[in-house]
A = this chain, B = another copy of it.
Amino acid sequence: MEDKKKNSLWEKIAREENVPLETLQERIKKWTVVIPFNKKRKISHPCAIGEGMRVKVNVNLGSSWEADGIKEELQKLSVAIKYGADTVMDLSTGRRLKEIRKAILENSPVPVGTVPIYEVAVKVLQEKGNLSALTPRDILNTIEEQAKEGVDFFTIHCGLNKKTLEVFSRQKRLMDIVSRGGAILLNWMLTKNKENPMYEYFDEILNIAKDYNITLSLGDSLRPGSVLDATDPAQIEELIILGELTQRAHQKGVAVIIEGPGHMTLDQIEANVLAEKKLCQGAPFYVLGPLVTDIALGYDHIAGAIGAAYAAYYGADFLCYVTPAEHLGLPTVEDVKEGTIAFKIAAHAGDLARGKEKAYLRDKQISQARKKRKWDEQFKLSFDPEKARAYYFRNKPKAEDVCSMCSKLCSIKLVDKCLEFLIK
């Protein structure tokens, strides 16, 4: 990025984040803050992720083999943006994967991430019918191609190597590997008896990332798929490897974020955030969920928001949303909305708990409006004004400025009426 453009971007972000420009610059320099932004891209809403920044939310979009509509994915994108997604990832694995990525890149005002191994896998399945036909060259070519198209950040499953696999092979996991990228690469490594190309050719990947100013999101192939598998030696061994790769990336001048959690009970989240910060030199932590139980089918956005809020409070920087459709199917537009809002609540709860002054402003304003029973102002300050309004008017008392819950016994009105008697 040219210096002039970079300076004005950093100034804008420093203002938005309510931190001094020098602080932002320092943190970017020591890689604890990253700004995913491909030099080929023009986006209106880039964002900073990491130390001291507002907690960000990523929304996954993308088709699958069964549902491959461009129109629907663009609707999902627009819902994600409307409800506050800070970034989106296109995880398409359907036949029209390239078209969908192109459309998302064209239409997204926020940074776009992808998982290049998905395109490689879909292509090799379409052309050769089996995954073992894929070559390291296919991977590098696809990464380069997507870099040219303007993708802002890539998930690279580089932590799964022979060493982590050796540790993994000694675990008794309930769910083994649930990362799709991890499973594809495991399959290739085991059937070919070769090293993971994402690990072996990491320097080549770094070169591409460097050329295009792409942030690498180092993927966690061994993330736990059951709360009973969490924080096991395989997961932590992979995190150690990711820490080593983080160092190599920083030496080459490439920004990284580290992917983590999955399924994990509340009591383990603090330690996991701490371990990531220590083992990966303070690189921003990007957590999926974590889902605090395995049994919340149909409600995994809630199980995920619980874990995400906790992770954010303890220092996770970037939350990957989960929808109600998790474990059951591809999310619909409505599911994307539900998931986005649940995770925006979690991120905001994390910001409040970390004492971020700016976050408190909105809570203060909505409470002031609530105290005065200014309903429109409350709706406007909430995550989903239409829903709030519809709920309020569903059963609103006709003559009074109260809601149907307490009605004549509205605590706010009762207190207003008598507070004059209290010498304050």
Contact = CB atoms under 8 A, between A and B. Distances in A.
A173 B240 CA distance: 48
Contacts of A258: none
Interface in A162-207: 165, 169-170, 174-180, 182-184, 186-187, 190-191, 193
A170 B360 CA distance: 22
B360 A228 contact: yes
Contacts of A3: none
B165 A293 contact: no
Interface string A290-310: 001111111101110111011
Contact of A368 (B131, B169, B174, B349): B174
Nearest to A392: B328
Contacts of A103: none
Interface stretch (A10-18, A42-50, A141-149, A409-417): A409-417
Instruction: Report how many copies the assembly holds.
Output: 2
Given A296-B382, A299-B342, A388 B310 contact: no
B415 A176 contact: yes
B177 A421 contact: no
A285 to B, nearest CB: 17
Contact of A292 (B309, B329, B407): B309
Interface stretch (A23-31, A106-114, A276-284, A395-403): A395-403
A15 to B, nearest CB: 22
Interface in A344-362: 345-346, 348-350, 352-355, 360, 362
A367 interface: yes
A66 B382 contact: no
Interface centre among A174, A302, A394 (most CB of B within 10 A): A302
Nearest to A292: B349
Interface of A: 64-67, 93, 118, 121-122, 125, 131, 165, 169-170, 174-180, 182-184, 186-187, 190-191, 193, 225-228, 265-267, 292-299, 301-303, 305-307, 309-310, 313, 324-330, 332, 341-342, 345-346, 348-350, 352-355, 360, 362-364, 366-368, 370-371, 378-379, 381-384, 387-388, 391-392, 394-397, 403-409, 411-412, 414-415, 417-419, 421-424
Nearest 3 pairs of A and B residues by beta carbon: A183-B411, A297-B382, A266-B353
Given A175-B370, A328-B388, 12 more contacts: A66-B397, A66-B407, A67-B395, A186-B415, A187-B417, A191-B418, A226-B363, A227-B363, A297-B384, A298-B383, A298-B387, A327-B403
